[in-house]
Amino acid sequence: MALDSKTEFKYIGTRPDRPDGMDKVTGKARYGADAYAPGMLHGAVVRSPHAHAKIVKIDASKALAMKGVKAVVTRADFATDLEGEDWDLLENTIAGEKTLYDGHAVAAVAATSALIAKDAAKLVEVEYEILPCVTDVDAAMADGAPVIRDGAADHSVPEGLHPNVVRYTEFGRGDVEAGFAAADLVVERDFKTEAVHQGYIEPHACLANLGADGKGELWCCTQGHWFVRRMCTALLGLETTQLRVTASEIGGGFGGKTTVFIDPIALALSRAAGKPVKLVMSRSEVLKASGPTSSASMNVKMGMTKDGKLTAATAVFRMQGGAFPGAPMDMTTMLAFSCYDLDNVHHEGFDVMTNRPKQAAYRAPGAPMGAFAVESVMDELCQGLGLDPIDARLTNAVKEGTKSSFGPRYKAVGLIETLEAAKAHPHYSAPLAENTGRGIASGYWMNWGGETSTSLAIGEDGTVQVGVGTPDIGGSRASMALMAAETLGIPYENVRVDVVDTASLGVNEPSHGSRATYASGLAVIESAREAITKLSKRAADKWGIDAEAVEWRDGAAHPSGPNAGDFTPLSIADIAGEMGSTGGPITGHHDASPTGFGGSFGTHIVDVHVDPDTGKSTVVRYTVVQDAGKAIHPSYVEGQFQGGAAQGIGWALNEEYIYDDDGRLQNDVFLDYRIPVASDLPMIDTVIVEVPNPGHPYGVRGVGETGITPPLPAVACAISHAIGHRMTRLPISPPRVLRAIQGKGIS
Amino acid sequence: MKYHTPATFEDAVGIAANATGVTRFLAGGTDVLVQLRADIVTPDDLIDVKHIPGVRDMTQNPDGSWTIGVAVAGAEMTENPALIADWPGVVEGMDLIGSTQVQGRATLTGNLCNGSPAGDAVPGMIAAGASVSVTGPDGSREVAVEDIPTGPGRTSLAKGEMVTAVHLPARGQNGGDAYLRFIPRTEMDIAVVGCAVNLRVDGDTITEARVALGAVAPTARLVEDAATALIGSKLDDAALEALAAAASAACNPIDDKRGTIEFRTHVAGVLAQRAAKIAYARARGEK
């Protein structure tokens, strides 16, 4: 759908209160664990304490004998004919022959209370034969590493690699050797990042009710309930539409709630017990057995002339995604050099299995690691050649028509605009205090369209209800209401937006890929336009003129001109009040897989102070500049910018999955899994750049993911400048910084 | 699990002495309840001490010393200006524990008896020269705070014994104390290194000092060599250097998810110097 000619907006770009705000601040909002049903049972999951072990025997007789216990399920209670990704999903949901990571589900219990279920889970006796394990990506690729699953590799993997390497990619163009030869400076560095968790505050929770007739209902906390429906019905051997899934309010997802972990188990327990079953993960279960992101081991080499022109770039990304294929090395390789216009470029990617939980999406999956390596090398090149880091980026920045490092030519994009806005921002020229460094980095996420279905219905009083299928993870109900209001010409307050269940609309992909405001928004606009056509027809019929002679503006039907006739305009309320007798309900509907999504570039500036005696880093100033295309609700755009920066800062400074030699997770609580707390962060300043996306009526680009891509390199570069040592390994924790300051290396 | 609400320390001690399984005393519960929910410890007998009269009292005695009940919460200490004026280091150690909500429950005694080497309230108490009253089946005794912890999660309290009050000495003239901890974040974290310094001055010269370290050994510990480095000095560079060296030398830490041996050992010296400067300024009446 093309960009509208409309440039003046009445509602879009304003900042009304979000419709879900009152419920959330008063505690009325219902999250995953807030669902109850008559006769409801509570579930508990039996989890493997071993990183890698053969399951010899499961004996649930003692648990089943306990008063109040109604059912125990194991792998035998799920579908047996699965293959490919569905088999992987099931294997991750509940172990088959082997447990593959610390916390892998082995069995589950349903009982009349949560306490009984928890106690009964301890009585399920599982006999294990412990196998050697590996959790580090480089170790997992080395000769002699324990094999997680033989035969898991696909056809892309060259001969001679370890069986834990399950996918391989290699692509590029030009002559990189000639390019490096033409450079005045070539920098090559190795980098490592650790696995991190999305850190959503709400643990996974669901309430399942599945009958012996194969019909069921599921209430759960998810970013995409149609995905949940498809996955759960596949894993349980059900017909897709016989399961109705309702998404609760969601306390954070960031990609981690686009798949299933406990929902199929709750359904299996419900089917076995004949009762509704509620299942809620503890924080420890979330950290051990949901889907953190990949860790990465990387090598990046780039060449630059003394004028700042990049001559060649190569990258190797080795990424582990847990005990299953799926580490996002394809995205990492695609986007690593996405900011730069390169004639000579080459990428290699390895998807490696380890004894860790199956990775899930995390905000711009795969992109932050690549940006960390590439932007760090870019910074070092600028430092070595005495170039301003923004000027050097402007010299190489992609723009409309540039052939991207991964192939396609860019449509209208806003990298140059974000760089120019960053350079003009007072932050960039502000003086720096002692022991403080400044980091600059850019980043990109290409965004997504995806299957989308929305509906809109006019109420008898002329107010409007909108049904969307993309759960509201960042204020999207407000944005949808603004787009509907703008299109219909009625006040924002007259539009109610609900995230409706899977029985109410066609298939919707999750709120992922920064697609909700773009794709559901586009569909809402089209739904509103369809309703306008019908409203106009009703007015035309009443006036006895052609529908084409009716013009819709300011929320009312008007005769399009003097030739159409002299009629008093009919407002939406006027038409709605009579619709029962003029043809029945008036609705609009739109289904699409829109492909006009537009990517978003961002540039971040950060100042970090480092305590030279302790190595402690403090982020003292942070500015996000990002292209939103068109900011529908600027506050929630800014919120996305700030949230991405906050999570990226955590990833850069302190967050990491720490496993011991036996593959047991050492930090499965928020005390030791150190996400930033509010007092760790300065107020994060934001600048919204608007280069309209030509593929959306109002120019919207998704903004959710780009913001986590620049912080890793920006923070690392700031610290590197503050201490005079290049930091190439995350997290840049105080012990690592202190070692660097003391000249002991950074490992 | 049996939950008890004794009305006297004698009853509480009796229950504990006769218990046959795992026993825990419950004051604020900010450790016990967390451990219970995390399946770390499931007590057979849980003895809630909050129903014993006087446990919420915080009293300044006629001689200037303080008696702090075993259920006095951190938030009550941080809202007591007289206590803060006397022992700011002790109070700031307590204040660093947990969130605002946790501050409404957490206690000095609980932090001590939990036995964590990283307990933030413990080094301040040790540096202050605090003691605790201990009551058990065989009677009562006074014990220096530094003699309570014996290892991670372990204390010198015998079966059936419990702490019944904390005693802080009279502050006296020209004294000051301070506590600093290192965490990678700003809040909601656990000490990677903690250091408390308590000293007294005569003019510019330090006449008395006690230095305690946390999170760098199996227990919080009193570091006498560090105190020796301070006494007689005017906190000059040489004294600070000697102080840091003594603090680092007293470390016997572990490498773990929270910090490395070399990091903890180095930062113990850094924090000792910084805490000493604050305590020195306070002793001299500077803010």
DSSP code string of A171-199: EEES-HHHHHHT-SEEEEEEEEE------
* Cβ under 8 Å to B: A residues 609-638: 613-616
End-to-end CA distance of chain B: 50
In this structure, are A506 and A618 located in the same domain? no
Position B276 scores a pLDDT of 98
pLDDT for residue A127 is more than 70:
yes
Write out pLDDT tens, residues A292-346. 999 999 999 999 999 999 999 999 999 999 999 999 999 999 999 999 999 999 9
A674 lies within 8 A of chain B by CB: yes
- Among B188, B266, B267, the residue with its CB nearest the CB of A677 is B188
**Residue-averaged pLDDT of chain B:** 97
Q: Is A735's CB within 8 Å of B260's CB?
A: yes
| Contact list, B184 vs chain A (CB under 8 Å) | 616, 653-654, 674, 733-734
| Chain A nearest-CA residue for B267 | A614
Q: How far from each other are the two terminal CA atoms of chain A, in whole angstroms?
A: 51
Q: Please give the pLDDT value at position A747.
A: 55
Residues A438 and A468 in one domain: no
Q: Is A474 on the interface with B (CB under 8 A)?
A: no
Tell me, what CATH number does A503's domain have?
Answer: 3.30.365.10
In this prediction, residues B102-116 reach a mean pLDDT of 97
A141-144, Cβ contacts within 8 angstroms, sequence gap of 24 or more: A141/A165, A141/A318, A141/A350, A141/A352
B158, pLDDT greater than 60:
yes
Shortest Cα–Cα distance, A656 to chain B (Å): 10
Residue-averaged pLDDT of chain A: 97
**What is the separation of C-alpha B222 from the centre of its chain, rounded to a whole number of angstroms?**
11
Asked if B186 lies within 8 A of A679 by C-beta distance, the reply is yes
Q: Is pLDDT of B162 > 70? A: yes
Q: Is the pLDDT of residue B143 over 80?
A: yes
* CB of A115 less than 8 A from some CB of B: no
Percent of chain A past pLDDT 90, that is, above it, reads 98
Question: CB B185 to CB A669 under 8 A?
Answer: no
Radius of gyration of chain A (CA): 27
Cβ of A734 within 8 Å of Cβ of B263? The answer is yes
The SS3 of residue A655 is: coil
Yes or no, beta carbons of B187 and A680 under 8 Å apart: yes
pLDDT above 90: residue A745: no
Q: Helix A367-385 to helix A389-396 angle, to the nearest 10 degrees?
A: 110
Q: What is the CA B76 to chain-centroid distance, rounded?
A: 16
Q: Which residue has the tokens 């201490």?
A: A723
Work out the pLDDT band at A746, boundaries 50, 70, 90: low
Decide if A359 is inside a domain.
no
User: Which residues lie below 8 Å from residue A111, measured CB to CB, with a gap of 6+?
Assistant: A41, A42, A44, A66, A68, A69, A70, A117, A120
Q: Which residue in chain B has the smallest CA separation from A747?
A: B260
Same domain, yes or no, for A576 and A612? no
State the pLDDT at residue A254.
98
Q: What are the angstrom distances between the C-alpha of A693 and each of A8, A315, A480, A604? A: 16, 30, 17, 21
**Cβ neighbours of A39 (radius 10 Å):** 10
Q: Same domain, yes or no, for A620 and A675?
A: yes
Position A253 in a domain: no
CB contact under 8 A, B188 and A733: no
Q: Domain for residue A157, yes or no?
A: no
Region A642-659 average pLDDT: 98
Of A284, A614, A669, the CB nearest to B267: A614
Given this model, what pLDDT does residue B287 score? 66
DSSP, residue by residue, A404-460: PTTSSBP-S--HHHHHHHHHHSHHHHSPPPTTEEEEEEEEEE------EEEEEEE-T
Residue B81 CA: distances (Å) to CA of B78, B86, B87, B109, B116: 8, 9, 10, 20, 28
Identity of the residue in A669, A672, A738 whose CB atom sits nearest the CB atom of B266: A738
Of the candidates A658, A674, A735, the beta carbon closest to that of B185 is on A674
Other Cβ atoms within 10 Å of B281 Cβ, number: 14
How far does the CA of residue A654 sit from the closest CA of chain B (Å)? 7
Do residues A512 and A578 share a domain? Answer: yes
* Mean pLDDT of the A57-84 span: 98
DSSP state of B2: E
In terms of DSSP H, where are the helices of A494-633? Answer: 521-543, 572-582
CB-CB neighbors (< 8 A) of B258 in chain A: 672
**Residue B38's pLDDT is what?**
87
Please report, to the nearest 10 degrees, the dihedral formed by the alpha carbons of residues A698, A704, A710, A715 taken in order: 130
CB contact under 8 A, A680 and B267: no
| Residue A739 forms contact with B (CB below 8 Å) | yes
* C-alpha to C-alpha distance for A115 and A526, rounded to whole angstroms: 50
Does residue A1 carry a pLDDT above 70? no
Residues A611 and A737 both lie in one domain: yes
pLDDT score, position A2: 75
Chain B's closest residue to A732, CA to CA, is B184
User: Model confidence over B12-36: pLDDT tens digits?
Assistant: 999 999 999 999 999 999 999 999 9
Cα A282 to Cα A669: distance, rounded to the nearest angstrom? 10
Question: Is residue A440 located within the same domain as residue A469?
Answer: no
Determine, for residues A653 and B262 on separate chains, whether the beta-carbon distance falls below 8 Å: no
What is the C-alpha separation between A338 and A333, in angstroms, rounded?
Answer: 9
Q: What pLDDT, on the 0 to 100 scale, is given for residue A731?
A: 98
Please answer whether residues B177 and B92 qualify as being in contact, where contact means their C-beta atoms are separated by less than 8 angstroms: no
For residue A654, the chain B residues in CB contact (below 8 A) are 184-185
Same domain for A628 and A695?
yes
DSSP 8-state secondary structure symbol assigned to residue A258: S
Chain B interface residues (partner A, CB cutoff 8 A): 38, 182, 184-190, 192, 256-260, 262-263, 266-267, 270
Q: How confident is the model at residue A103 (pLDDT cuts 50, 70, 90)?
A: very high
Contact B186 A680 (CB under 8 A): yes
State pLDDT tens for residues A368-410. Answer: 999 999 999 999 999 999 999 999 999 999 999 999 999 999 9
The pLDDT tens digits for A530-570 are: 999 999 999 999 999 999 999 999 999 999 988 888 999 99
Number of domains in chain A: 2
Q: pLDDT tens for residues A430-467?
A: 999 999 999 999 999 999 999 999 999 999 999 999 99
pLDDT for the residue A391: 98
Residue A33 covered by a domain: no
Residue A539's CB: how many other CB atoms inside 10 A? 25
Looking at the structure, do residues A638 and A708 belong to the same domain, yes or no? Answer: yes
Q: What does the alpha-carbon distance between residue A544 and residue A540 come to, in Å, rounded to a whole number?
A: 6
Q: Mean per-residue pLDDT for A215-242?
A: 98
The values of phi and psi at residue A372, to 5°, are -55, -50
Domain boundaries, chain B: 175-283
Half-sphere exposure (Cβ direction) of B107: Cα atoms closer than 13 Å: 25
Q: What chain B residue is nearest to A741 in terms of C-alpha separation? A: B263
Q: Which residue of A has its CA nearest to B186?
A: A680
Q: Are A518 and A594 in contact (CB under 8 A)?
A: yes
Name residue A111's beta-bridge partners: A42, A69
Size of interface A-B (CB pairs under 8 A): 53
Inform me whether the pLDDT recorded for A5 exceeds 80: no
**CA-CA distance, A450 to A455, in Å (whole number)?**
17
What span, in angstroms and rounded, lies between the C-alpha atoms of A15 and A634? 6
Length of chain B: 287
A679 touching chain B per CB within 8 A? yes
Q: Is residue A205 part of a domain?
A: no
CATH of region B175-283, choose from 3.20.20.210, 3.20.20.80, 2.60.40.1120, 3.30.390.50 = 3.30.390.50
Arithmetic mean of pLDDT, B30-55 = 95
CA distance A601 to A397: 11
- pLDDT of residue A724 exceeding 60, the answer is yes
**Residues near A594 by beta carbon (within 8 Å), at least 6 away in sequence:** A1, A449, A450, A452, A518, A519, A522, A523, A695
Across the strands, what pairs with B201? B206
Query: Which residues does chain A have within 8 Å of residue B38's beta carbon, measured at their own beta carbons?
Result: 284, 669
In a domain, A655, yes or no: yes
Interior/surface letters B39-63, b for 16+ CB within 10 angstroms, e for the rest: eeeebebbbbbbebeebeebebeee
Say how far apart CA B283 and CA B199 lie, in whole Å: 7
Q: Which two tokens stand for residue A413?
A: 């994009």
Cβ within 8 Å, pair B257-A613: no
- Taking only the tens place, the pLDDT of each residue in B226-277 is 999 999 999 999 999 999 999 999 999 999 888 999 999 999 999 999 999 9
| Chain segment A612-627, per-residue pLDDT in tens | 999 999 999 999 999 9
Q: Which two tokens stand for residue A645?
A: 């920066």
Q: Which chain A residues touch B116 with a CB distance below 8 Å?
A: none
Cβ contact, residue pair B185, A676, below 8 Å = yes
Q: Which chain A positions have a beta carbon within 8 Å of B186's beta carbon?
A: 677, 679-680
**Domain range for residue A548?**
21-28+454-586
Q: Do A606 and A734 lie in a common domain?
A: yes
The pLDDT > 90 percentage for chain B reads 96
Contacting residues of A for B270, CB less than 8 Å apart: 613-614
A735 and A613 in a single domain? The answer is yes
- Rounded mean pLDDT, B65-87: 98
Cis omega (within 30 of 0) on the bond before A731? yes
